């Protein structure tokens, strides 16, 4: 078996995309939506871009059990053993810890890329080259590798990675991870040239990440250790349904990457966005002469610029006059009208809707 046949991909697909409410809903989160009008959802696009890099049989999707029918519908190529169903949401560290155990039971020599299901990458050829180099690096080093994106603006919605010395061309030691900064600090980061955006895309060998979980997240690791011998067998599902809810809800950044001493970054510029906000979708979508973005809907505007219109009903007409830089999102039973500059309020709005309507509109 050559090295390429030991390569795997884990696509994390369990989020609910609440920042895209009301277009993204609990029953149909953003990763399952064709946001860009390509005929493929964000999940399907994530799957497509991995195919040149990994054997299709080595692609694993981890999602919430609720979304199993949607994943099977959108990716009918996957076998049941390639879809890992979480009984509850526990953030990225438990998700990855389980996927690693599952893969390592089948292939102890595995290396893998771990990627979210809802990101946008515009230069896929450059992405492929970057990932191939990343695989070669983690297969020859005891390394936890993250892909760092060269920042193009002082973005406050992303985490940052501070780089240290270069160990090989294109690969640098990580000095520290920094959570989402305010605008002044973001400007300092970008001007310094020492910081890259944290893409949340990782590569490592199964051996290296297993040791990291054992050393740095022992409570989480021990929960999965109880199932030693069941992974890759018919008993795996029952074990996960019993033990996964006991896992702490923690991100892999907090649990592993910010603590480990063998963390490296591969710096890249392949046209990346996590599409985490309406403004990010606006920035990455084609615009008409009035700089408006329309998502598969009929719109007539008068003196209205810089807006994004997202309407679920294709037969609905939206008409605006004198409206500038707004989000207009119509999901049938919910209509959101919000200035783009206040989209950070959406999280609070979702919490208020939950409290007042007991989840009815989520």
| pLDDT per residue as tens, the chain (362 positions) | 455 799 999 999 988 888 889 988 888 899 999 888 789 999 999 999 999 999 999 999 999 999 999 999 999 999 999 999 999 999 999 999 999 999 999 999 999 999 999 999 989 999 999 999 999 999 999 999 999 998 888 888 888 999 999 899 999 999 998 888 888 998 999 889 899 999 999 999 999 999 999 999 999 999 999 998 999 999 999 999 999 999 999 999 999 999 999 999 999 889 888 888 888 889 888 899 999 999 878 999 999 999 999 988 878 899 999 999 999 999 889 999 999 999 889 989 999 999 999 889 98
Going along the chain from its start, the domains and CATH numbers come out as: 7-273 (3.90.550.10), 278-357 (no CATH)
Per-residue tokens: 60 = 């694993």
pLDDT digits (tens, 9 = 90+) for 26-65: 888 999 998 887 899 999 999 999 999 999 999 999 999 9
Tell me: cis bond preceding 27? Omega within 30 of 0 counts: no
Q: What pLDDT is stored for residue 1 in this prediction? A: 45
Q: How long a stretch of residues is the chain?
A: 362
The whole-angstrom separation of Cα 171 and Cα 174 is 9
Query: How far does the chain reach from its first CA to its final CA, in angstroms?
Result: 47
**Pick from 272, 229, 223, 261: which is nearest to 245 by CA?**
223
Instruction: Answer whether 0.95 is exceeded by the pTM.
Output: no
Q: What pLDDT is stored for residue 3 in this prediction? A: 55
Per-residue tokens: 127 = 């992405």
Q: What is the largest CA-CA distance in the chain?
A: 65
DSSP strands (E only) in the chain: 7-12, 59-64, 83-86, 111-116, 120-121, 144-149, 160-168, 171-178, 195-205, 263-268, 272-273, 293-295, 298-302, 308-311, 317-321, 326-330, 335-339
Neighbouring C-beta atoms of residue 351, cutoff 10 Å: 12
Q: What pLDDT is stored for residue 2 in this prediction? A: 53
Q: What pLDDT is stored for residue 315 in this prediction? A: 84
Residues 62, 10 contacting (CB under 8 angstroms): yes
Q: What pLDDT is stored for residue 210 in this prediction? A: 97
Q: Which residues are 98's β-sheet partners?
A: none
pLDDT digits (tens, 9 = 90+) for 205-245: 999 999 999 999 999 999 999 998 999 999 999 999 999 99
């Amino acid at each position: 078996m050559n090295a390429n046949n030991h390569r795997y991909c884990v696509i994390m697909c369990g989020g609910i995309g609440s920042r895209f409410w009301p277009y993204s809903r609990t029953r149909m989160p953003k990763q399952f939506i064709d946001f860009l009008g390509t005929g493929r959802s964000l999940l399907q696009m994530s799957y497509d871009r991995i195919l040149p890099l990994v054997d299709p049989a080595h692609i694993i999707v981890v999602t919430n059990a609720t979304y199993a029918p949607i994943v099977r519908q959108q990716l009918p190529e996957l076998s049941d053993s390639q879809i890992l169903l979480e009984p509850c949401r526990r953030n990225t560290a438990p998700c990855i810890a389980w996927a690693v155990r599952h893969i390592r039971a089948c292939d102890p020599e595995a290396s893998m890329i771990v990627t979210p299901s809802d990101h946008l990458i515009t230069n896929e050829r450059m992405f492929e080259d970057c990932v191939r180099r990343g695989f070669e690096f983690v297969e020859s080093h005891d390394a936890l590798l993250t892909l760092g994106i060269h920042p193009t603006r002082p973005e406050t919605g992303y985490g940052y990675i501070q780089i240290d010395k270069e160990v090989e061309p294109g690969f640098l030691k990580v000095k520290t991870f920094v959570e989402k900064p305010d605008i002044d600090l973001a400007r300092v980061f970008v001007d310094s040239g020492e910081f890259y955006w944290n893409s949340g895309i990782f590569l490592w060998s199964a051996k290296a990440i297993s040791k990291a979980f054992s050393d740095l997240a022992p409570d989480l690791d021990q929960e999965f250790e109880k199932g030693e011998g069941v992974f890759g067998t018919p008993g795996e599902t029952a074990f996960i349904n019993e033990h996964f809810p006991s896992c702490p809800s923690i991100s892999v950044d907090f649990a592993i990457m910010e603590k480990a001493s063998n963390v490296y970054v591969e710096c890249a510029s392949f046209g990346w966005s996590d599409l985490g906000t309406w403004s990010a979708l606006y920035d990455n979508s084609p615009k008409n002469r009035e700089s408006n973005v329309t998502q598969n809907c009929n719109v007539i505007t008068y003196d209205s610029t810089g807006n994004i219109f997202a309407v679920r009903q294709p037969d609905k007409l939206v008409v605006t006059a004198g409206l500038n830089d707004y989000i207009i999102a119509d999901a049938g039973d919910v209509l959101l009208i919000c200035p783009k500059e206040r989209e950070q309020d959406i999280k609070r709005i979702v919490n208020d809707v939950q409290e007042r309507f007991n989840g009815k509109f989520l």
